[in-house]
Structure 1
Amino acid sequence: MESFRKLIRGWLGKVLLVLFLTPLALVGIEGYFSGGNKADVAKTVNGQDISNKDLDAQTKGLKDQYLKMVNGDESLLNNDFIKNAALDSLIARALLVQQAEKLGISLSDGQIEQMLAQQPSFQENGKFSQPLYENYLRSVGITSSALIANLRQDHALQMLMGTFTNNALVSKVDLELIANLQTEQRNLYLASVKLDEYKQNVKVSNQEIADYYNKHQNKFKQVASVDVDYVVLTPAMLPQASQQVSAVELEEAYAAFVDQQKQNAKREVKHILITTDNRNAQEAEKLANDVYAKIKAGMTFTQAAAQYSEDDSSKAKGGVIEYTEGVFDSSFDNAVKSAKNAEITRPVKTQYGYHLIEVQRDVGEIPTFEAKKAELTEEVLKSKSANLFADTVNSLNEQVVSNDALDIISSEVKTAKIESVKGITVATTNPVLADPSVKAKIFSDDVKNGDRNVSSSIQLKDGNTVWVKVRDYHAAGVQPLAQATARVKAQLIQDKAVTAAKAKIAAMLEDFKKLPAQQVLAKYPFTFESAGMFTRSQGLKREIERAAFSVPAPKAGMWSVTTASLPDEMVVVGVAEVKKAPVDSLDPAQAQELTQLYQRMRGQQLLDDYTQYLKANAKIK
């Protein structure tokens, strides 16, 4: 039974449902066992309710995935986007399940019961264990028929999805297109046209700036940002604490060390479980007290476990369990922590029944005071320094907050300096302001609503402390024309300079379309340098890469030529040759990998299209 409880704690996503419910990538498994009522409905899909509990569970699952991508920095997440994505996935799942039912895709009760019987976690001595299965059902609050119905439903979902994802057709033409994208090589020649001389003659009027801004406002969207003053205080900035350690301080430190050793000692936990499976709670408690009295009267714990415990996995071992905190519940854990060595606890109630618990601690040999003296002295000194830093922070914090002034810190601690930074966003890499706790403050709702007071002290991950003051908050949205004017003007000057430069070489560009490359090169005093052979994503500047791979392959002896605009430079890009690797040239392993990749991509696209079709014809409210 103990091994089964361990199974339950991590089992939902790791064992049975990993084996049977692969499609639940669409939905958090918590939604499987949620109840809910009409007042708790997030959406209704063709009359089927999606509860807020399901939505919260799915949102949390997606959020946890995104948090891993941003190293736990929640300030970088768009919570509205995540919640909407979670709801979309739940709606998609509901639609696909409903369609599977309409199509009659299903497994029989017998087939699913056979799956359950073959699940190792429900087996004991190689055979299906009804008690293990029933204990699992009780632990998650679901009936056997409901679990079987859920498994049948999800297998139907898996089969319907597999129809698209596993059977997408891939032709040789498809593979050639992908192979070309991955392996195509282009022989490039580049010529540079400096724009400085063209820009000198460009004039831009205020009306042109306003017109461009009004027409291209999407280019001037900005994320929220703040202008911030801050002061960092580190322990190294403070005078050293007293280097003297008294005998009393060392004795107290040693006593604390001994207590900690006892707490951390290896322990053997035994229990006797009296369940309420075949009796009511009062009867179970009475029996547990009777067993407790028998042990006190002389019966050994091992004898009592063998005779009375209803935990089949431990009773034959004298009640010994592989204890991990959280396996039962907090009542059990608290009893283990507080139990004296070799003491039998009075009956402890948990969701499983009543437990008698015995804890044997093997403290081992504890180092003597003299052996630990040097180490304890160093620890006490560190503690003194930490206390001095904490006291200083507390004292400064009171003054800073009450006076709303950062300069109090720099006046008290001469090495502390006020730093000022403008335009900080949530994506900042500033080593201080990028701390999640700091970003939570400077982008808080209070700041958005006008709070410009100095913050209370904020402890950083490295142990230092910072105070921050937001001087100005710039809301997300379109940058005002006044702020965008310089950028607009620079863009207009760039565009006009490129247009002038193109006009000057227009005749040459036209000739490249009609004449062999060597004739064009001989006709114009324009220098092209060989850049070499390139595939996509091989280190070219993005603008040049886009230009180079946007033109068609040239005819023999000719070049395909276009231009790319860079800051202060226009690059003329000539493609002299295009080499494509035919699918037949790929080795079998590469061809197979390419086929599977495209099949997965196309299958997922087909599934998405099908889901959108179902959604367009569904009643969702």
Structure 2
Amino acid sequence: MESFRTVIKGWLGKVLLVLFLTPLALVGIEGYFSGGNKVDVAKSVNGQDISNKELESAVKNYKDQYLAMVQGDESLLNMPVIQEKASDALVARSLLSQQADKLGISLSDVQLEQMLAQQPGFQENGQFSQKLYENYLRSAGMTNQGLIASLRQDHALKMISSSLMEYALVSKSDLQQLANLQTEQRTLHLASIKLDDYKKGITATNQEITDYYNKHKNEFKQVASVDVDYVVLSPALLPQANLAVTETDLQQAYAAFVEKQQKDVQREVKHILITADERGDAAAQKLANDVYAKIQAGMTFAQAAAQFSDDPSSKSQGGLVESYAPGAFSADFDGAVNALKNGQISKPVKTQYGYHIIETNAPEAKVPSFESEKARLTAEVEKTKVANLFSDTVNNLNEMVVGGDSLDVVAQEIKGARIESANTVTLATQNPVLSDLNVKAKLFSDDVKNGDRNASSNIQLANGDTIWIKVRNYHPAGTKPLTQVTAAVKSKVIEEKAYKAAQAKVATTLADFKAQPAVNVIAKSKVSFENAGTFARSQGLKRAIERAAFSLAAPSKEGMWSATTTKLPNELVIVAVSKVDSSVASSLPEKELKELKQLYQQFRGQQILEDYTEYLKSQAEIK
């Protein structure tokens, strides 16, 4: 713990990296430390600002979540909705944070230090590792105060949200009612009445068609779609002549391989850091120059690092910066590293951390022999030749396609290439090539929306093939005009009239079920019922039938049925319940009851948290 306190209070406190995931943590860590000014404010909640950077980070996090759900297809995302959701979440976070402050919910500095020191990412062999900790710190650029503030805020949020969510009250009667609903089983009997016979002789007037359309416009909405012609070219369609690999090709490939191996050797970077934390900038600069002079006079770099460096993780290792990567310190530091020759030592370089004296060393590259690489290089050269042939062919065809505004040239020039057509293609259409993100971006581009019907330039597909497209028609999103859907509306009007006629026909039967035994009603009505079986909720029934079945009251006594009707396409269904069994709930194992209680408690807790947040929002000043 003492070693942790030493680190947190020193120069490394400037570059702390937070590793915690917390409730409502929708912004990237950088959002807490965005600084900024009033022109960067996205929202203000009771005077507490939410920066545009925080909002951007929250939007990105939501976007990434939804992208995972749609297999990375960004075209399926509704970005305005995502942006609104992210903004609402940040406002809720701010309100709950402010309320936690008012209630005095907080952790002490000692508790926060203990939490940091116990993070697995900072531990080695079960102990806090200063080295691991510092490796994270170098690239973050955060202040100690900002870290502590963010941790305190996160855990205050966790405490206030968990108090509401994890301790929601669930009564025994609530739990019993929920168990009954979840496990209740109903024995169903179904009778299907086709509407075709009722449609005979039914007509729909123009006024009825217009009235139905105006009342049900949502039924006739359409998403944007296109009618398109396209042609796909793959490397496999090209002739493979003149692609033989020569000895000269292999020697050139090997020479390039050797050059790359030598270039990619990881350079060893060492530094001596002189900070200005305790001594001031001028004194730090003077000391750095003095140390550089000592090295020039004969002191070894390792000796100077051990004696003068303020970097505790590297001074005992001769100044070695483990796992050095560009950006760890600054662009000036990286520039000095790149400018140094092997074994050369830099003059002091200033960064935000202080003054660095840098040394670099590059070990000799171990390059495999030509013979050991020959097979791999042969395959690589063959692949390159195929790729070059394909690229040249695509470029030549592209000029002809675009210049002639026609896809025909591809089919004429390349045997096996065919022009395909597809109609009413939407963003959600599943098609091996038209679903490609780059293709969809072109199909639904502003140019196409504004009337561009020219053949496109080539578009590279994710699998490496190339496609050219030519949109024939673009159908904008919105409600289809009545002129386009008159036939469909007329069909719906006639079906609705037939459904009402069928309902009227069975009305007497439904009334009889309320007063007479089912066997008598069935014999009188001559309606044929099918014993559908016994079902609980969500057990595979069609949604309309399930809603009807579980909306009915239990039969009043043995032999009686409860019955109602529901509508399916071109069909009226009589749904009857002969038995309701609620006994399963009373015999549920204790474990299942406990799980059900936890689920219900979480649901209630989430509702309470949302209601509480809405209450805070109603009392807040949000701009």
Give the TM-score of the pair, scaled to structure 2.
Answer: 0.87
**Alpha-carbon distance in 2 for matches of 1:421, 1:282:** 72
State the partner residue of 1:540: 541
**Alpha-carbon distance in 2 for matches of 1:180, 1:340:** 78
- Cα pair 2:565 2:574 within 8 Å, conserved: yes
Tell me the alpha carbon deviations over residues 247-279 of structure 1, each in whole angstroms, 9 at most, x when there is no partner: 211101112222344455577554444444456
- Cα pair 1:397 1:456 within 8 Å, conserved: yes
Tell me the alpha carbon deviations over residues 275-298 of structure 1, each in whole angstroms, 9 at most, x when there is no partner: 444566787677667666766776
Could you tell me how far 1:444 is from its partner in structure 2? 2.1
- Cα pair 2:25 2:154 within 8 Å, conserved: no
State the partner residue of 1:550: 551
State the partner residue of 2:607: 605
- Cα pair 2:184 2:584 within 8 Å, conserved: no
Could you tell me how far 1:496 is from its partner in structure 2? 2.3
- Cα pair 2:212 2:489 within 8 Å, conserved: yes
Tell me the alpha carbon deviations over residues 172-202 of structure 1, each in whole angstroms, 9 at most, x when there is no partner: 2221232233222221222222233333333
SS across alignment from 1:25: coil
State the partner residue of 2:213: 213
| Deviates most, 298-307 or 308-317 | 298-307
- Cα pair 1:176 1:582 within 8 Å, conserved: no
Identify unmatched segments of 5+ residues in structure 2: none
State the partner residue of 2:113: 116
**Alpha-carbon distance in 2 for matches of 1:8, 1:424:** 54
**Alpha-carbon distance in 1 for matches of 2:231, 2:286:** 64
CA separation of 1:205 and 1:124: change in aligned 2, threshold 3 A: closer
| Deviates most, 599-608 or 572-581 | 572-581
State the partner residue of 2:570: 568
State the partner residue of 1:253: 253
- Cα pair 2:118 2:128 within 8 Å, conserved: no
- Cα pair 2:166 2:605 within 8 Å, conserved: yes
Amino-acid identity (%) = 56
**Alpha-carbon distance in 2 for matches of 1:7, 1:248:** 57
State the partner residue of 2:104: 105
SS across alignment from 1:106: coil
State the partner residue of 1:591: 593
Could you tell me how far 1:120 is from its partner in structure 2? 1.0
**Alpha-carbon distance in 2 for matches of 1:268, 1:221:** 64
**Alpha-carbon distance in 1 for matches of 2:564, 2:242:** 74
| Deviates most, 23-32 or 306-315 | 23-32
State the partner residue of 1:480: 481
CA separation of 1:264 and 1:581: change in aligned 2, threshold 3 A: farther
Q: Which amino acid aligns with 1:440?
A: A
Q: Which amino acid aligns with 1:486?
A: A
**Alpha-carbon distance in 1 for matches of 2:352, 2:294:** 24
| Deviates most, 599-608 or 294-303 | 294-303
CA separation of 1:411 and 1:590: change in aligned 2, threshold 3 A: same
- Cα pair 1:241 1:385 within 8 Å, conserved: no
Identify unmatched segments of 5+ residues in structure 1: none
State the partner residue of 1:84: 84
CA separation of 1:546 and 1:132: change in aligned 2, threshold 3 A: closer
Give the TM-score of the pair, scaled to structure 1.
Answer: 0.87
Tell me the alpha carbon deviations over residues 468-492 of structure 1, each in whole angstroms, 9 at most, x when there is no partner: 2222222222121122223222222
Q: Which amino acid aligns with 1:178?
A: L
Could you tell me how far 1:598 is from its partner in structure 2? 0.9
CA separation of 1:519 and 1:73: change in aligned 2, threshold 3 A: same
- RMSD of equivalent CA atoms: 3.6
**Alpha-carbon distance in 2 for matches of 1:519, 1:216:** 40
Could you tell me how far 1:597 is from its partner in structure 2? 1.1
SS across alignment from 1:24: coil
Q: Does residue 1:577 correspond to 2:579, yes or no? A: yes
Tell me the alpha carbon deviations over residues 356-383 of structure 1, each in whole angstroms, 9 at most, x when there is no partner: 243444644x432223323322221111
Could you tell me how far 1:500 is from its partner in structure 2? 2.6
CA separation of 1:68 and 1:282: change in aligned 2, threshold 3 A: farther
**Alpha-carbon distance in 1 for matches of 2:470, 2:281:** 59
| Deviates most, 350-359 or 186-195 | 350-359
State the partner residue of 1:376: 377
**Alpha-carbon distance in 2 for matches of 1:580, 1:355:** 79
Q: Which amino acid aligns with 1:200?
A: K
CA separation of 1:154 and 1:175: change in aligned 2, threshold 3 A: same
**Alpha-carbon distance in 1 for matches of 2:41, 2:17:** 28
State the partner residue of 2:503: 502
- Cα pair 2:292 2:357 within 8 Å, conserved: no
- Cα pair 1:100 1:156 within 8 Å, conserved: yes
- Cα pair 1:345 1:358 within 8 Å, conserved: no
**Alpha-carbon distance in 1 for matches of 2:529, 2:270:** 83
**Alpha-carbon distance in 2 for matches of 1:405, 1:361:** 57
CA separation of 1:238 and 1:132: change in aligned 2, threshold 3 A: closer
- Cα pair 1:137 1:143 within 8 Å, conserved: no
Q: Which amino acid aligns with 1:56?
A: E
Q: Which amino acid aligns with 1:114?
A: Q
Q: Which amino acid aligns with 1:185?
A: Q
State the partner residue of 1:525: 526
The alignment covers a number of residue pairs equal to 608
**Alpha-carbon distance in 1 for matches of 2:287, 2:454:** 63
State the partner residue of 2:471: 470
Q: Does residue 1:157 correspond to 2:157, yes or no? A: yes
Could you tell me how far 1:312 is from its partner in structure 2? 1.2
CA separation of 1:132 and 1:436: change in aligned 2, threshold 3 A: closer
| Deviates most, 171-180 or 460-469 | 171-180
- Cα pair 1:97 1:156 within 8 Å, conserved: yes
**Alpha-carbon distance in 2 for matches of 1:141, 1:6:** 9
- Cα pair 2:330 2:351 within 8 Å, conserved: yes
| Deviates most, 42-51 or 531-540 | 42-51
**Alpha-carbon distance in 2 for matches of 1:400, 1:280:** 68
- Cα pair 2:224 2:477 within 8 Å, conserved: yes
State the partner residue of 1:393: 394
Q: Which amino acid aligns with 1:82?
A: I
Could you tell me how far 1:584 is from its partner in structure 2? 4.1
**Alpha-carbon distance in 2 for matches of 1:43, 1:266:** 46
Could you tell me how far 1:612 is from its partner in structure 2? 1.6
- Cα pair 2:566 2:575 within 8 Å, conserved: yes
- Cα pair 1:551 1:562 within 8 Å, conserved: yes
Could you tell me how far 1:531 is from its partner in structure 2? 1.7
- Cα pair 2:26 2:61 within 8 Å, conserved: no
**Alpha-carbon distance in 1 for matches of 2:589, 2:338:** 63
- Cα pair 2:225 2:474 within 8 Å, conserved: yes
- Cα pair 1:331 1:349 within 8 Å, conserved: yes
Tell me the alpha carbon deviations over residues 377-427 of structure 1, each in whole angstroms, 9 at most, x when there is no partner: 222111111101011111222222233322222222232222222222211
**Alpha-carbon distance in 1 for matches of 2:269, 2:118:** 23
**Alpha-carbon distance in 2 for matches of 1:484, 1:519:** 46
| Deviates most, 111-120 or 469-478 | 111-120
Tell me the alpha carbon deviations over residues 433-467 of structure 1, each in whole angstroms, 9 at most, x when there is no partner: 11111112222223223333332211111011112
State the partner residue of 1:142: 143
**Alpha-carbon distance in 2 for matches of 1:136, 1:266:** 22
Could you tell me how far 1:329 is from its partner in structure 2? 5.0
Could you tell me how far 1:523 is from its partner in structure 2? 2.4
**Alpha-carbon distance in 2 for matches of 1:445, 1:60:** 24
Could you tell me how far 1:78 is from its partner in structure 2? 0.9
CA separation of 1:374 and 1:309: change in aligned 2, threshold 3 A: same
Q: Which amino acid aligns with 1:388?
A: L
CA separation of 1:522 and 1:409: change in aligned 2, threshold 3 A: same
